Amino acid sequence: PLVLGIESTCDETGVALVRGRELLADVTASSMDEHARYGGIVPEVASRAHLEALLPSLEAALASAEVTLADVDAIAVASGPGLVGSLTVGTAGAKALALGLGVPLYGVNHVVGHAAVDELVHGPFPERFLALVVSGGHSSLLLVRDIATDVVELGQTLDDAAGEAFDKVGRLLGLPYPGGPHVDRLAREGDPTAIPFPRGLSKGRELLRHPYDFSFSGLKTSVARYLEAREASGEPFSRADVAASFSEAVADVLVTKTLRACEEHGADTLVVGGGFSANSRLRELAAERCAQAGVELRIPPIRYCTDNGAMIAALGSAVVRAGLPSSPLDLAVDSQMSLSVPVVLPPAE
Ligand code: ATP
Ligand code: MG
Ligand code: FE
């Protein structure tokens, strides 16, 4: 079956076509440039941009796959989690298409989609695997036994997401928004062992209570204190060392907890997704420690890690393959959607 996927949870409008595990078209429009001057995403601006980008993206995707709407067998849409206004635009479009074409509608989970897309790149998933989804909006560790029916959220961030922490530290270091890639670049020139920044929820009682949760706001505060103290005293310091030591702390916590979960759950495959998986230290450390632990590391190319339509079409295709019932046509968006829900099922009779 040919599945059309629509993504509009945040600032990217994505429309993609997947048949089985084959990606036929993937079109993404981003309103990031419009938000950059505000130093953060403006929800109203994002919603309007989705409205303007949705139909042109749909037409471009159909043209690129050389199919027409009549060929589409099912519609998948990310109905949460995300910004309510943004979700509403994509979901309204998906409902209209499903109703008009007389094909089933599937409301799917955006975060699970970040893992699902890897099937299009590296082939069918093993019987169980761990997925680390890290971006500007989330940092979640998922245990996946079936991408369409059995996803368990082992942990998530209690405060800032990894990318968000990088953006805040970027601001502290006077770097342009979004700071993540700039901090990453600066970190390459510094010493990751120079400053012992804290690893959140990694020791004693906190670790016991939150074995797979993350916390990055204490780390960010430590960076702020470090910079304030140096500015107050006039003592010289290296910005590159700050960036490198901070990056090391984030990557270390993410990889340590993730590999511990692989061991506990007997998973020998790790999928990493979300825009933060561009981070060079995370990639290095994950590759190094996965090799040591005998865990296969799967990271899709970066265009499939940032928000895109292919991830939603991929998850929709898995849901269709699993034979799940379609979502109701009055499907509600769910900005806080639980990360253990791959697809929104109709209410039980
Ligand atoms: P989502 O809705 O999935 O949270 P998002 O737009 O917030 O989407 P993405 O676009 O997936 O997030 O990822 C962007 C985030 O990743 C930003 O916070 C950005 O600063 C950060 N980021 C991107 N590249 C790097 C990098 N190389 N190192 C560190 N952070 C990075
Ligand atoms: Mg984005
Ligand atoms: Fe995302």
Is 265 annotated to bind a ligand? Reply is: no
pTM passes above 0.95:
yes
Question: Cis peptide leading into 178, omega within 30 of 0?
Answer: yes
Radius of gyration of the chain (CA): 20
Dist CA 191 CA 194 (whole Å): 5
Q: Whose CA is nearest to atom 11 of ligand 1?
A: 275
Answer whether 170 contacts ligand 1 (Cβ < 6 A).
no
- Average pLDDT per 10 consecutive residues for the chain, totaling 349 residues: 98 98 98 87 95 98 98 98 98 98 98 98 98 96 98 98 97 95 98 98 97 98 98 97 98 98 98 98 98 98 97 98 98 97 93
Please name which ligand lies nearest the alpha carbon of 112. 3
Distance 138 CA to ligand 3 centre (A): 7
**Nearest alpha-carbon partner for 271 in 143, 181, 109, 148:** 143
Sheet of 12-19, strands arranged across: 22-30, 12-19, 2-7, 74-80, 105-109
**Nearest alpha-carbon partner for 115 in 300, 288, 258, 290:** 300
ipTM above 0.90, yes or no: yes
Q: Which atom, in ligand 1's list, is nearest to the CA of 280?
A: 27
Which of 135, 246, 305, 308 has most ligand 1 atoms within 8 Å of CB, for mutation? Answer: 135
pLDDT of residue 39: 81
Distances (CA, A) of 162 to 66, 70, 105, 143: 39, 41, 32, 19
Answer whether 9 contacts ligand 1 (Cβ < 6 A).
yes
Is 85 annotated to bind a ligand? Reply is: no
Answer whether 118 contacts ligand 1 (Cβ < 6 A).
no
pLDDT of residue 145: 98
Surrounding residues of ion ligand 3, Cβ less than 5 A: 135, 307
pLDDT of residue 336: 97
Q: Which atom, in ligand 1's list, is nearest to the CA of 32?
A: 6
Q: At a CB cut-off of 8 Å and minimum separation 6, what does 224 contact?
A: 172
pLDDT of residue 141: 98
